[in-house]
Structures are given as C-alpha cells and as structure tokens.
C-alpha cells in the first residue's frame, strides 16, 4: 500500500503539493507514482524562473522500466529546483515525500481548491 501524507494536496497525475507561507508551494511526486515507476535513474527538471501552467508537462522522471511526464498541479513561477535529484535521482525512491522537486510561487491560489485531499487521493490509488 502506498503512503499518503496528511497535510498535503494531491493531483490526479500523482504529484503532491505542500502549501508553505506567502503563496509558495512545494511540488513532488507521490509514493504511489515512484512505486509504479520502479528504480528512478533520471529526473529532468526545468530551471528556476520557468513559468508553469496547471496541467501542463514541466519535466520527466525516468526509471529502468519507463519514462513519465511530470504534470504541474498549479500555475506559477519556479523559485527553486531540488538540485540534489539531478545527481541522485534514487532519492525519489527512498522517500518520495522528502524528495521535493520544485518550489513555486503560485499565480492563482484558488487552483489549490481543485486538488485532492489525502482521503480523496487514497481512494484514487486503492
């Protein structure tokens, strides 16, 4: 059974969102997503300053089995990427919720209302 963390929001494309202060969110992929991929060997992330559009691809995760697009759960501008994942993509497998990918300044905080609660996401993946 995949882990679902309380206090986060989730997208149907298996990204998680942690709301920080001042309109900043942290984005990563879920435990379910990494378990479906298998051993992650490469993470492709855009540069800081890149503008994200909700429900549009922003990067990719590659495993020994498959490659999977990363779909932005929100619209905003990337403030920071997790550089550690470029050199150590296996961190996603070790703890998908600790291996955040992006810090993003939200353009439209109301988009958070479209995301799934932990209970809704748990229902989606069971």
The C-alpha atoms of residue 58 and residue 60 are separated, in whole angstroms, by 7
CA atoms within 13 A on the CB side of 76: 25
Give the model's pLDDT for residue 78. 98
Per-residue pLDDT at 1 = 77
Average pLDDT per block of 10 residues along the chain, 126 residues long: 94 98 95 96 97 98 94 98 97 97 97 98 96
Q: What pLDDT is attached to residue 107?
A: 97
41/67 Cα distance (integer angstroms):
10
Class of domain 29-108: mainly beta
- At residue 30, the pLDDT reads 98
So what's the pLDDT on residue 94? 97
pLDDT value for 21:
85
The C-alpha atoms of residue 101 and residue 18 are separated, in whole angstroms, by 11
pTM, full prediction: 0.96
| Separation in Å, CA 121 to CA 21, 72, 105 | 23, 16, 23
The whole-number pLDDT of residue 64 equals 93
Q: Measured between alpha carbons, how far is 47 from 27 in angstroms, rounded to an integer?
A: 14
């Amino acid at each position: 059974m995949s882990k679902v963390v309380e206090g986060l929001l989730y997208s149907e494309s298996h990204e998680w969102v942690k709301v920080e202060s001042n309109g900043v969110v942290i984005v990563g992929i879920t435990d379910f997503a990494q378990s479906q991929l298998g051993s992650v060997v490469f993470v492709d992330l855009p540069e800081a300053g890149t503008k994200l559009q909700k429900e549009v691809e922003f990067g990719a995760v590659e495993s020994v089995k498959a490659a999977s697009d990363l779909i932005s759960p929100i619209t905003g501008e990337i403030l920071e990427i997790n550089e550690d994942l470029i050199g150590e993509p296996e961190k996603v497998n070790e703890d998908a919720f600790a291996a955040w990918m992006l810090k993003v300044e939200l353009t439209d905080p109301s988009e958070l209302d479209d995301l799934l609660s932990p209970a809704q996401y748990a229902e989606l993946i069971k």
